[in-house]
Every structure is written in C-alpha cells, then in structure tokens.
Amino acid sequence: MDQTVTDFARAVQDILFAGQRMDQRGWVPATAGNISRKLADGRMAITRSGCHKGFLQAADVITVDMQGKPHSPENRPSAETLLHCQIYRHFPHVGAVLHGHSVASTVLSMEEETAVLTLADYEVLKVFEGQTTHETSVQVPLFENDQDIARLAEVVEPFFGTGMPAGYIIRGHGVYVWGKDMPTALARLEGLEFLLACALERRKLHA
C-alpha cells in the first residue's frame, strides 16, 4: 500500500478518536472546534467545516497545504485553518493541533481582565513541556476574538517567540493546544481543561 495513503488513513483515525474524546467531555458543542494532524509529506489533514466532532466520519477529514488551501476545490476546511498552519509553521516538531470550546475556557477568558491567565501550583501543570514540579506557574495568553482569522493570526504571531506554552485561549471562544503527536496534544488539552475547570471553581468559591 502507498505510504502516503497509509499515513492519511492513520491521521483520519487519530482525528476521529480525538473528536469523540473531546465530545465526550463537552468541549466541542454543536459544530464547534477543529482538529488537525500533520502528514509526513507536509500536507495537513483537518476536519471539514460544519461537522460535529463527536460524529465525524472519514469523509469529514480533508487535506490542505500549509497555506490552508484544500487540495480538492470542492472541500471547505474550517475557517480557522490558518491558525493551525501558523502553529505548524512555528513548530516543525508539532504533529497535531486541537481546538475546543469548553465552558471553562469560554467563561474564564471573558472574565479575566489581564492579557494572560495564570495557573499556579497545580500538579497537572507538569503536562506542559519543561514543567517538572507543581511549584511553578504557567501563563496562558488570551487574545480577543475576531472573525477575521488572518487578522487574528497576525495578533497571535508575536507571542510564538516569547516562550508561550503549548496553548492559548481566544476570549469567549476557546483553546488551542498542540503536541508532537495526537496523544500528546490530547494530554495537553485534557490537562489544560482540567486546570481551567479548577480555576473556574476556585473563582466561584471566592465570589
């Protein structure tokens, strides 16, 4: 079997599994969110626009180039494909990118007045690369939502050179995380979502 076909088939299975897992946790309501996986030949496999991520079928995964252009003109990728391209461009080792719309990320990002959300002293912080202890803090950047994705990408761009952890949040919208492969990206998403849920609960307790 053609290695290119085999790689794409594996990517499809990775994406379908990620969609189901994210849906089970309520992180991709309705048709929200998008999921991608880089292919060995430099293309990107990504979810088609308008699909419910909990019920993805193989036909809902398409390929685009690293400028976000679909290889088949009839295919319409997610509107946020350019944000995936941006991450892959900055981090050549990254193999998967996940975007979800959880309640915690949506609410916290709308309530937090600063440009970052600081998460400190949690054991689960060790899910982020380079963290080895709970006695630390991670600052997750917050960006204003914008329906013009190219313009939003320009705002995010400078932060990739500032030691940004493997994730950021768009206010009132949701999170972006990435990893060397799909299991790593999923672990980071689950870790970040756990931390966001904890932060939200603590704010309720102190309200």
- The binding site for Zn(2+) consists of 99, 101
Cα(13)–Cα(18) distance, integer angstroms? 9
Alpha helices (runs of H) in the chain, residue ranges in sequence order: 3-24, 81-90, 103-111, 149-156, 182-205
Cα(97)–Cα(184) distance, integer angstroms? 10
The pair of structure tokens assigned to 49 is 């626009």
The pair of structure tokens assigned to 53 is 């991520």
Cα(125)–Cα(180) distance, integer angstroms? 18
Cα(179)–Cα(116) distance, integer angstroms? 21
Sign of the torsion formed by the C-alpha atoms of 91, 96, 100 and 104: negative
Cα(192)–Cα(150) distance, integer angstroms? 25
The pair of structure tokens assigned to 131 is 């963290």
Pick out the residues of the known binding site.
Answer: 99, 101
Could you tell me which residues come within 8 angstroms of residue 183 by beta carbon, excluding any fewer than 6 positions away? none
